[in-house]
């Protein structure tokens, strides 16, 4: 399977340096992303707790917090509490801890995400992520070992398709690493046809401090994982020359195909020239005899 990364032209450095960024969830443009609705204990969690009894041995209607569940809660909340204490060490300070913030910290501090698409010719993606069609798209071979490895958490492969829904996942301290926390997004984003590569941030090849809370984490991108590059319909001629010459001259990318996107003369869609290997030849690229034809709107 081939997956695609939309990039602005300055990100030619991804190919030149063979490094690509995996981004912390807190830096995403969707405020819901990797921020599940969260409560410390769900109803299911509570129902698993032992019943509480009074001194006469009669059930009180309550439940007992076991040492194991208390340990889980404290281990989950402790990093955020330490962060609050560090930022405000004044004696007697009172802290209000947002449950959803606890979940966000637990998810975002460990993992980086590379967002990819299953399509290379989406008009909105070209506009939003490839600098108004002036950038380019990199085709990646998802069978390469770069995309695979030990599961991050149970039932969550490193490379997975995003699921789209109108409802947020509601998770607890015992289910915070459910795949839905990493993969569910609003239906409003379904046009992206997104796949996610998720890797631990401690596997990054280079980490740079950009002056903010979250550093830039770059991962080595094997050139063998790159199989094609698509240039945008509005890419500047000098940028097109730079990109195509670099790919042609660099022995690491001799296997990479270069395609150019163009506008269909009949529909609101992009054409790929030359066509993708194995793809059905588009009629608009077939030789045609010039002739008068009716103009229609």
**Domain layout of the chain by residue ranges:** 2-36+104-278
Residue 82: per-residue pLDDT: 60
Query: In Å, how far are 134, 194, 226, 229 from 253, measured between CA atoms?
Result: 22, 25, 8, 10
Cα four-point dihedral sign 50, 53, 57, 59: negative
Nearest to 107 by CA among 202, 34, 180, 161: 34
Report which secondary-structure segment, H or E, holds 216.
strand 216-220
Residue 289: per-residue pLDDT: 44
Per DSSP bridges, beta strands 59-63 and 270-273 are unpaired
Running along the chain, 297 residues long, what does each successive block of 10 average in pLDDT?
Answer: 97 97 90 80 69 75 76 66 60 52 66 96 97 98 95 87 92 80 94 96 91 88 97 97 96 96 94 86 61 47
Distance of CA 242 to the CA centre of its chain: 28
Residue 37: per-residue pLDDT: 78
């Amino acid at each position: 399977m081939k997956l695609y990364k939309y990039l602005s032209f300055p990100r030619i450095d991804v190919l030149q340096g063979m490094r690509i960024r995996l981004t912390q969830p807190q830096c995403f443009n969707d405020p819901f992303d990797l921020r599940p609705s969260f409560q410390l204990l769900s109803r299911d969690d509570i129902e698993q707790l032992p019943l509480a009894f009074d001194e006469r041995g009669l059930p009180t209607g309550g439940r007992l917090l076991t040492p194991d569940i208390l340990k889980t809660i404290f281990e989950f909340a402790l990093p955020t509490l330490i962060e609050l204490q560090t930022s405000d060490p004044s004696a007697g300070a009172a802290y209000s801890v947002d449950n959803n913030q606890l979940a966000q910290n637990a998810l975002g501090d460990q993992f980086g995400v590379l967002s990819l698409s299953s399509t290379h010719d989406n008009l909105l993606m070209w506009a939003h992520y490839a600098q108004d069609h002036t950038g380019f798209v990199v085709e990646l071979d998802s069978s390469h070992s770069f995309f695979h490895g030990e599961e991050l958490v149970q039932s969550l492969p490193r490379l997975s398709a995003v699921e789209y829904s109108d409802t947020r996942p509601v998770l607890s301290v015992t289910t915070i690493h459910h795949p839905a926390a990493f993969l569910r997004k609003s239906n409003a984003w379904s046009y992206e046809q997104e796949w996610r590569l998720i890797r631990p941030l401690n596997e990054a090849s280079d980490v740079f401090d950009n002056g903010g809370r979250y550093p830039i984490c770059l991962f080595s991108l094997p050139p063998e994982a790159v199989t094609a590059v698509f240039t945008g319909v509005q890419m500047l001629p000098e940028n097109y020359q730079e990109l195509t010459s670099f790919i042609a001259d660099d022995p690491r990318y001799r296997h990479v195909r270069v395609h150019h996107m163009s506008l269909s003369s009949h529909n609101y869609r992009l054409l790929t020239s030359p066509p993708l290997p194995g793809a059905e030849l588009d009629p608009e690229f077939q030789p045609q005899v010039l002739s008068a034809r009716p103009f229609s709107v």
